[in-house]
C-alpha cells in the first residue's frame, strides 16, 4: 500500500499533521533533538492518510526507536502554523542553522558536508 503523509500547501501556508508521544518513566520524559537544532521535541512524526493518531505514534516509535509502544490517551491538540518565505528575504529571520540564509540561494551541485556546533 502506498503511504501518503497528511501535508498540503495553499499559497505561502503549509498544513502538516504531526503526532507526537509523551513517554514518562521514573520522573523523566523521552525527548530528542537533531545535533544541529537548538531545541528539543517529543518523538513522533507525520500521520498518514486514514491512519488514526494512536496508530501513528505507535508506528513512529517502532520506526524511530525499534520499540513497541501503546498509545493510551490523547493529551493535547496543538496547532502550529508555517509559511513559505522567499529565499532572498531570509536575512532578518532567526533561521537555524545560520548557513541556510546564504546556502539556500546557491545550492551546491553535489553533497556538501556542513558541521554546525553551537553547543559552546
Q: Domain spans of the chain?
A: 7-86
* pTM of the model as a whole: 0.60
How far apart, in whole angstroms, are the C-alpha atoms of residue 5 and residue 48? Answer: 4
Query: Residues 104, 107, 111, 117: is their CA dihedral positive or negative?
Result: negative
Q: Which residue has the higher pLDDT, 37 or 117?
A: 37
Query: Using alpha carbons only, how large is the chain's radius of gyration in Å?
Result: 17
Q: How confident is the model at residue 48 (pLDDT cuts 50, 70, 90)?
A: very high
How far apart, in whole angstroms, are the C-alpha atoms of residue 3 and residue 9? Answer: 18
Coil, helix or strand at residue 22:
coil
Residue-wise pLDDT for 86-104, tens only, equals 888 889 888 777 888 888 8
Least confident of 17-21, 54-58, 80-84: 80-84
pLDDT recorded at residue 56: 93
Q: Is the pLDDT of residue 19 over 80?
A: yes
pLDDT recorded at residue 58: 95
Take residue 119 and report the three cell numbers written for it: 553547543
Amino acid at each position: 500500500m502506498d503511504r501518503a503523509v497528511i501535508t498540503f500547501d495553499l499559497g505561502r501556508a503549509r498544513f502538516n499533521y504531526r503526532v507526537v508521544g509523551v513517554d514518562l518513566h521514573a520522573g523523566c520524559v523521552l525527548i530528542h533533538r537533531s545535533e544541529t537544532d537548538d531545541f528539543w521535541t517529543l518523538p513522533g512524526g507525520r500521520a498518514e492518510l486514514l491512519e488514526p493518531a494512536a496508530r501513528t505514534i505507535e508506528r513512529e516509535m517502532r520506526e524511530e526507536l525499534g520499540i513497541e509502544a501503546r498509545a493510551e490517551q490523547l493529551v493535547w491538540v496543538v496547532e502550529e502554523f508555517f509559511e513559505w518565505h522567499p529565499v532572498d528575504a531570509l536575512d532578518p529571520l532567526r533561521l537555524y542553522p545560520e548557513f541556510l540564509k546564504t546556502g539556500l540561494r546557491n545550492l551546491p551541485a553535489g553533497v556538501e558536508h556542513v558541521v554546525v556546533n553551537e553547543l559552546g
